[in-house]
Amino acid sequence: MTEVIGRIRQATNVPKRLVAISAILLLILCIFPFVAGDFQTNLMAKLLLFGILAVSLDLVWGFTGILSFAHGVFFTLGGYAMAYYLKLNLSASANTYGVALPDFMVWNGLKELPWFIAPLQIFPIAAIAMVALPAGFAYIIGWFIFRSKVSGVYITIITLAISSALTTFFVSQQAFTGGTNGITDVSKLSFFGIVVPQLGLYYIILGFTTLVLAGSWWLTQSNFGLILRSVKENEQRISYLGYDVASFKIFVWTLSAGIAGIAGGLFVPLNRFISPVYLAVAFGTQIVIWVAVGGRGTLFGPVIAAILLGQLQNSVDRITQDWQLIVGIILLTVVLFLPNGLMSLLPKKFRFTEINRMPIPRGSTTAGFVRVSLLDWYSPLVRLIQSVRGKR
C-alpha cells in the first residue's frame, strides 16, 4: 500500500476553463435553495449524494475497469452507522414506547442494547464507523478478490452475490436492523445541541460533493490515475513492468467504498431513514446506469446523469408508476447511440478528465520520466514505422 500512496503525485496544472465552469456551477447550486423551494432543495441534495455515489463507482469502473454492483452495499453500511447514532439519540419521549431502546428492538423482544451497537451512541465513533465500516469491508473482500487474481465478469458476479447475501441477512436480523422497514424516524442531526436545518444539510452535502469531485479529479490526473487507466487498458503489461497491480486495485476499491459510506451517512439525516432496499441488486444496478448514461471515466458525467434521471423520475412518477420503463429506454438509447455516455456530446476541450499530457523534458532521469517512457513505447514505434515508409 505504501507503493501505491507514493504514486499519487500531481503532475499537471488545473485548466483555467475547468475552474471557471466549476465556479459558475457551484454558484448556481449555492443560490438554488433560494429560488427552488424546500422540496426541490431536498431532492437536489439527495441527487447530489447519488451523484457522488456514482462517482465512487466511476473511480473503479470508469478508470480501473472493475464493474461492481456492491456500491449500494457500501452506501448502506455507512447509512446504518449514522442511523444507529441518530436513532439512539432520539429522546425517550419521542420514542414510540417511551424508552431509550429503539422501537424495532422493543418489538422484537430485546431488553437491552446489543454490545456491538452501543458504541454508536457517541458521534465521533459513529462518524468513524460511517467510513471505516464500508472501507474495511471493501478492503477485506478486495484483498481476497484481487490477490487471487480474479478479474472480469467474475468480480461482477461476486459483487452481485455479496449484495444479495447482505440484503437477505439484514432483512432476517430484524431485532438488530429493523428488518425490511430498516431504521426509521431517526432524530435530526445536531452539533453541540444545535439542530442542523435542512438548508444546512444541503450546504454540507454540496461541500462534500465539491470536495469529492476536486479530489477525484486530482487523483485521476496524477501518476496514480495514469497507472489506473493503464491497468484498465492492459493489466498484464503493467504487471510485467513491475507494478503490484493488486495493491492499486485494493486501494482505489477501498477509497471508493469509503466515499460511498460517507454519502450513505449523509443520506440518513436528510431522508430520516435507511433500509435494506439500498443493499439490493436493483439499487446497485441503478448506480451502474448513472455511470453508463453519464459516461465512464468522466467523473462529472455520473453526477449529471444522477441529477437528470432523478428529476426525470420525479416528473414521470406523477404520471405513471412505470418510470423504470422510461429509464430503460434512455439506457438502451445511450448504449446504442452514445456508448461513451452523455459527456461524449461535449467538445473535446470540455472533457476535463482526460489526461492532460505535459511535455516530458528530454534527458530527465526522474522515476516518473522512466515510467512514462516505458508506458509510452508504442507511439515512438509508430512514428519510426511512419518515417521509414515516408523515406520509401
Q: Report d(CA 64, CA 227) in Å as an integer.
A: 9
Q: Picking from 60-64, 138-142, 215-219, 220-224, which range would have the lowest pLDDT averaged per residue?
A: 220-224
- Band (165; pLDDT cuts 50, 70, 90): very high
Greater confidence (91 vs 338) lies with 338
**CA 63, chain centre distance (Å):** 13
Q: Give pLDDT tens digits for 34-70.
A: 998 899 999 999 999 999 999 999 999 999 999 999 9
Q: Identify the CA nearest to 155 among candidates 51, 61, 89, 223.
A: 61
Residue 134 corresponds to which amino acid? P
- Band (7; pLDDT cuts 50, 70, 90): low
Q: Identify the CA nearest to 267 among candidates 53, 57, 27.
A: 53
Q: Report d(CA 31, CA 222) in Å as an integer.
A: 33
* DSSP class of 356: -
pLDDT for 374: 41
Query: With 70 as the cut, is the pLDDT of residue 159 above it?
Result: yes
Query: Nine-digit cell at 275?
Result: 433500509
- Band (168; pLDDT cuts 50, 70, 90): very high
Break the chain down into helix, strand, coil percent, rounded to 5.
70, 0, 25
Strand 190-191 vs strand 273-274: parallel, antiparallel, or unpaired? unpaired
pLDDT for 171: 93
**CA 237, chain centre distance (Å):** 28
Q: How far apart are the first and last CA of the chain?
A: 51
Q: Report d(CA 271, CA 76) in Å as an integer.
A: 13
pLDDT for 263: 96
Q: Give pLDDT tens digits for 256-297.
A: 999 999 999 999 999 988 999 999 999 999 999 999 989 888
Q: Identify the CA nearest to 84 among candidates 125, 132, 121.
A: 121
Query: With 80 as the cut, is the pLDDT of residue 31 above it?
Result: yes
Q: Give pLDDT tens digits for 89-143.
A: 876 556 656 567 888 888 888 888 889 998 998 999 999 999 999 999 999 999 9
pLDDT for 257: 96
**CA 156, chain centre distance (Å):** 16
* Torsion of Cα atoms, 41 then 44 then 45 then 48, to 10°: -160
